[in-house]
């Protein structure tokens, strides 16, 4: 049995043969559990303080607004500096911010403006950390195992998406929300320590005298000249704007539409995590198939249909199943988009292509957060889900027709 399991791991999850990636992978798992606990606790705390879906959406928007303004410059910055050091510094900043939020909650002094400031500063750290972490993977595993490593990375992200919300729900109902932030602060330590011992296969640092803005323009020109990259970016823009960070509205869905408390809310998020984990493992197992814009389009379209179904649902169990299916498809979408971009771009443009991906995917989220928050505030959360699904379907259909995506 052990040899059978080992054979399956070697066959389907071969990126784990790299010691550097194993250290990084296990360190991330602990850190991501803490991160998901905070991801659940922070919007719940914001909604508890404000009782406003719109103000909740503003907190979510501030977490991603820095990505919108910084990610393009970050792509050039990553090319010129050691990626491991960038990740370590960004992780340390986020650890300090989580500890500060925990102390504010424990002392009973937390206010809405504290959440706004911390959300914005975390967004600044994430603007550097997220694209750097993705670009760093190839330095640990090489090109041949890149897509498999991205799939495995997504798998632990979504395993944490199961465990984190479940643990957060228990802590929030028993000992308090502040402990979610405290756990997250300490969860950064294993990853920061592990990064110190990682020795990359190679260290890609670009020596360039070009103006930063010129390099950004060169990156956009390169993407526009590559059909696969350009199509991928447009699909990511459509789906990312409305769907990719919709978890910030799940507290409203749980409370107002399904009449659930903290535990019920945590279970809904865990269902999304279970579906996402399954999607990540499937993508990792099929990693040798390479870039696939057809799968990307299909995953986005079906997710939009599921959002319409969630908006129409009035039953808690059905909504949980639909969220699990949505989680399955959204992680397939994100992992396929990430790997398609990294495998399609050349070494000289990979970091800039990844940064443009985050600029579009994560940077478009503030727009979606504010719009969905406003629609939910005016018409209710169910109408909001239906509207989001319908808009995404229409946009994808128009893009497919205009670009000839499925024409041979």
Dump pLDDT digits (tens) for 204-241: 666 666 677 888 888 888 888 888 888 899 999 988 88
Question: Considering the domain boundaries, does residue 180 fall inside one?
Answer: yes
Average pLDDT over residues 260-273: 81
Domain that holds residue 232: 2-403
d(CA 231, CA 36): 31
| Structure tokens belonging to residue 16 | 């784990």
Confirm whether 119 is domain-assigned. Answer: yes
Least confident of 128-132, 256-260, 362-366, 368-372: 362-366
Asked if residue 316 belongs to a domain, the reply is: yes
Instruction: Return left, alpha or beta for 108; rule: phi > 0 is left, psi -120 to 50 is alpha, else beta.
Output: left
Tell me what pLDDT residue 176 has: 85
pLDDT in tens, 293-327: 777 888 889 999 999 999 898 889 899 999 999 88
Q: Residue 151 is part of a domain; what is its CATH number?
A: 1.20.1250.20
**Count: domains in the chain:** 1
User: Is 363 part of a structural domain of the chain?
Assistant: yes
Q: Which range scores top for mean pLDDT: 108-112, 145-149, 170-174, 390-394? A: 390-394
291 and 297 in contact (C-beta within 8 Å)?
A: no
| Of 218, 203, 201, residue with least CA distance to 80 | 203
Mean pLDDT, the chain, rounded, equals 83
The pLDDT of residue 206? 64
Q: Is pLDDT larger for residue 362 or for residue 380?
A: 380
Q: How confident is the model at residue 103 (pLDDT cuts 50, 70, 90)?
A: very high
Residue pLDDT, tens place only, 12-32 = 677 787 788 888 988 988 999
The tokens of 224 are what?
Answer: 């526009």
Cα(185)–Cα(96) distance, rounded to whole angstroms?
7
Is 20 part of any domain?
Answer: yes
Quick check: pTM over 0.85?
no
Nearest residue to 370 (alpha-carbon basis) of 47, 118, 55: 55
Q: Give the orientation angle of helix 146-174 with respect to helix 112-141, to 10 degrees.
A: 150
What are the DSSP calls for 355-408, one per residue?
HHHHHHHTTTHHHHHHHHHHHHHHH-HHHHHHHHHHHHHHHHHHHHHHHTTT--
Q: 408 in a domain, yes or no?
A: no
In-domain check, residue 59: yes
Whether residue 104 has pLDDT greater than 90 = yes
Question: Is 75 domain-assigned?
Answer: yes
| Alpha carbon separation from 85 to 95, 146, 194, 200, 363 (Å, rounded) | 15, 21, 12, 12, 24
In the prediction, which pLDDT does 205 show? Answer: 64
Residue 291, pLDDT score: 61
How confident is residue 368, by pLDDT bands cut at 50, 70 and 90? Answer: confident
Q: What is the pLDDT of residue 2?
A: 52
């Amino acid at each position: 049995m052990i040899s059978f399991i080992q054979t399956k791991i070697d066959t389907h999850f071969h990126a784990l043969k790299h010691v550097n990636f194993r250290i990084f992978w296990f360190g991330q798992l602990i850190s991501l559990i803490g991160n998901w606990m905070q991801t659940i606790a922070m919007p719940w705390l914001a909604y508890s303080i404000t009782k406003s879906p719109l103000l909740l959406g503003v907190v979510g928007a501030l977490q991603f607004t820095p990505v919108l303004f910084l990610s393009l410059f970050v792509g050039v910055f990553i090319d010129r500096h050691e990626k491991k050091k960038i990740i370590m510094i960004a992780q340390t900043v986020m650890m300090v911010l989580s500890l500060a939020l925990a102390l504010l909650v424990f002392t009973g002094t937390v206010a809405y403006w504290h959440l706004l400031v911390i959300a914005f500063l975390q967004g600044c750290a994430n603007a550097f950390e997220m694209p750097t972490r993705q670009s760093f993977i190839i330095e640990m595993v090489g090109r041949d195992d890149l897509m498999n490593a991205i799939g495995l990375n997504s798998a632990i992200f979504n395993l944490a998406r199961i465990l984190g919300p479940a643990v957060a729900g228990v802590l929030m109902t028993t000992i308090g929300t502040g402990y979610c932030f405290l756990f997250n602060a300490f969860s950064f330590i294993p990853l920061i320590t592990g990064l110190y011992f990682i020795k990359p296969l190679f260290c890609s640092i670009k020596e360039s005298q070009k103006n930063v803005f010129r390099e950004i323009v060169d990156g956009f020109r390169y993407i526009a000249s590559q059909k696969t990259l350009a199509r991928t970016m447009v699909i990511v823009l459509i789906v990312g704007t409305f769907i990719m960070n919709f978890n910030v509205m799940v507290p409203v869905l749980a409370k107002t539409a399904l009449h659930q408390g903290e535990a019920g809310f945590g279970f809904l998020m865990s269902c999304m995590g279970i579906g996402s984990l399954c999607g990540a493992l499937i993508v990792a197992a099929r990693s040798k198939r390479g870039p696939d814009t057809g799968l990307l389009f299909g995953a986005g379209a079906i997710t939009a249909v599921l959002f319409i179904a969630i908006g129409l649902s009035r039953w808690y169990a059905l909504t949980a199943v639909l969220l699990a299916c949505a989680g399955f498809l959204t992680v397939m979408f994100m992992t396929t988009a990430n790997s398609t971009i990294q495998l399609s771009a050349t070494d000289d443009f990979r970091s800039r292509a990844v940064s443009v991906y985050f600029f579009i995917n994560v940077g478009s989220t503030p727009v979606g957060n504010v719009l969905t928050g406003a629609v939910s505030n005016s018409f209710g959360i169910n109408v909001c889900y239906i509207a989001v699904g319908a808009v995404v379907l229409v946009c994808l259909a128009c893009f497919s027709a205009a670009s000839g995506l499925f024409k041979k």
